[in-house]
Structure 1
Amino acid sequence: MTYKVFLVEDEIIAREGIRDAIDWAAAGYQFCGEASDGEIALPLIRERRPDILITDIKMPFMDGLQLCRIVKETLPTTKIIILSGHDEFRYAQEAMQIGVTQYLLKPIVAQDLLAALRKIASQIDGERQAKAQLETLQAQMFDHQPMLRERCLLDLVSGSSSAADFMEQARNLEIDLLAPWYQVLVMHAMPPSAATAPLYTLYQQVDVTVAASLNQSPLVVAFKHGLEDTILIVRGETRADMTQQAERLATAMRQRVAEQLGCRAIIGIGDPTERLSLIPQSFAEALAQISSFERPAESDPSDQGQFHGGAIMLKALAYIDTNYADPAMSLGQAAAHVLLSPTYFSALFRREVGETFIDYLTQVRIRKAIELLRSTSLTASEIAYRIGYQNPRYFYSVFRKVVGQPPNEFRQRF
């Protein structure tokens, strides 16, 4: 890699001495020009854009300091070496404040100049590398921006990020969401039982149809969660506007999806809110509405893969069934296993399984306790520890609540 060097020196003997004392090409530099003062140098510098400018301080017409100020304004990445006499040290101090990289005292020795040039070249290399890395990161961020945008919005509706954190991320991702009122809609698309197209293709068509329903409205921010769900955050000026707009959107999406694709669109509408921080509540209300819809009677209820989150729930249930004995088992732990936020996982779990996470975990543990009471001579306390309860008294209480009698009485029946 070569570095372009430009020299400004009013004394011709000194200028030629510096120019001829170094084998520029052999040292890795390109000597791209010279001038006798700043006024002559400036247009040449703008044209040739050197990486390094070497300039004297005291020169006629336009001195070195004036030249440095202009160069730093127009070519901020250009590095500057000031050549200074002993009695000009105060000028050198001013040059440092302008942003000059180094200064050398006259008379100039070739070795000293080369050492300064090598130091600056190393600095330029570091800056170029940092710039290249930044450009690469920016390109990657641009490529991943849709995914980052979706993640940011999901964190907002699920309550995983605060309003302040969301606003900071939204600014970087160019998400415009601020408004007097907000309302969340969730659309869950169910393909027809006789669908012949692959599900992925069908859901892509659903996305296109939903986008057409929105008609590029600046008041609606829409994003996906999985294949089947579309989440919409609607903005508005008043509560009444929000309610009317949400109903219109829901009606339009249901009709278009049904007429064009033959799909059933189940849409939940949360309550309007004036605060970003309450958007998760509106989202939860929308999910709750979807949860209240019954599955189609003709569908096989055991075929969970046909419903929203079926595959996710199968994975979550398998994880719980395998790790129920872990005292640390929690909703957050299970949610992390399937890569969902706790809030969204909780709502999805209740909708798909028909009971809360803790109720399901309790049932698994109590079923195992019943099995151990029947088939082993372990004490109730030992069983409690084996199935994930660290407090035997709490286990007795839970067992009695679920089964209707204490563990020891239950065992005596068999």
Structure 2
Amino acid sequence: MYEILVVDDSVLDIDCILFLIDKYKLPLHAATAVNGQEALKQLQTPGKHFDILFTDIKMPLMDGLELSRETRRLSPDTRIIIFSGYNDFEYAKTAITIGVQDYLMKPIVPADFAATVNRLTAAIEEDGRQAEQTRKRSRLLKSHLLLLSVNNCLSREDMDALPENYSHLMLVECDEEFFSQEGIDFQEKLESLLPFSFDYLNLYPTRSLLFIRESNEPRYKKEAYLLSAAQTIALSAQEEYGRKCYITFDRLPERAAISRVYQRLEKKMETRFFFPERTCLLPDSSAQSVVASGHISMDILTDDLKLKDYSSLNQHLQEIFDSLKDEKTHSLIYVKYCFTELMKEITGSLPPSDRPDLVGLAERIYASSNITELIGMTEALAEQLTARPDSLEKDNLKIEQIKQYIYRNYAEPLTLDEIASAFYLSPNYLCSVFKKETGCNLIKFINDYRLQRARVLLTTTGMKVHMIAETVGFKNTSYFCQRFRDYYGESPESCRQKETRL
């Protein structure tokens, strides 16, 4: 239904128009006013919008031409029809300059009125379709640019094409396929749940990324919002969809850092395999990883050790060393206790045959005379860990075999657990090694290959789009089309038509 405002100082003429709307079953919901000022008040009502203004010219207080000018100012897309018993060219000429769509003479010819309304509603509908297509193209372009930025495929100049400035990235991941099914509805749910504006990018069926837009909120307050939002997302996914989601986020210092921050979030997300009870994985910042409420937090070091990420381990150890050297309020006993905890963590990751005697180690720590000795002892222990050969499991791992397995089975609903099981590996170890050896996330590799195979089928066969989606491993056709548009910047049908023309 379309909203129409009928304005005339003659109640009889208004009743006539209402009768014609009912007689011709026109898709109109009508409001009325008996003069221009009364009509203007309705036009100014917050949240009220009229698709059509149907007004007489000669009226007390405010005539139809002045009302039309005000309507055009307040609501540029409202269609205006003027009707009058005055057959005066000057009125018609003024109406044209205002942007009136039609001019009908009194007495109204019923068929002319119906034809005019039908023509205007058809134009409104067409404008709506075009506006929606424009919005879709805009969303498609933005999603494509965001995807390219995540994959580090945009130059600094191209980054300027992004229409928004972002302060943070938030990564949301699920163990099973979610964002290709209920997750489409979940996106709308997020928009109603979260207290800030964001752009949403689905990366693949198990992972989505939120680009949090800049706001005037202080940074500390924004990050408090984000932590609360992460908890809200996890709770909503569990309660309403029965899915466990993991969320992590981090600050985005500049647009050019999107890929770098995303990789950091990926790394943090990998720790969920070791800490399945955590749903909100806090970002790694020196304030959180080094000192928390006056105590050193071991969480980040535990993550590094379990992930065998010795580069990060050394970096975080250095942060802790710097913090302890700069901190003058801790007692000597507390500092030595902290180093004992650090070395216990590192020692626990060494093979039993290489582990030093903990009692003797503790005695050396408490006998030390300065912090430099403690740092040297810890660094020597960490070097033992980083210098030892990689495990036999890694030596035997053949990344090429994993790729071949994907090439053979990409049409099946591959899961991380399934692939890991096929190669007798832990899911986390598989992810870490695959990323290190190929530079690509394993799940992204699978989905990119599926989309590449889909493009080949589109351009070399006459298969229907829904059949291609199923053939390359996508259960949901609309989700497949969305992912294809994000990846290639065009729809599957457009891709096929373009290739056919070449």
Determine if the TM-score, normalized by the shorter chain, exceeds 0.5.
Answer: no
TM-score normalised by L of structure 2? 0.37
Structure with bigger gyration radius: 1
TM-score normalised by L of structure 1? 0.44
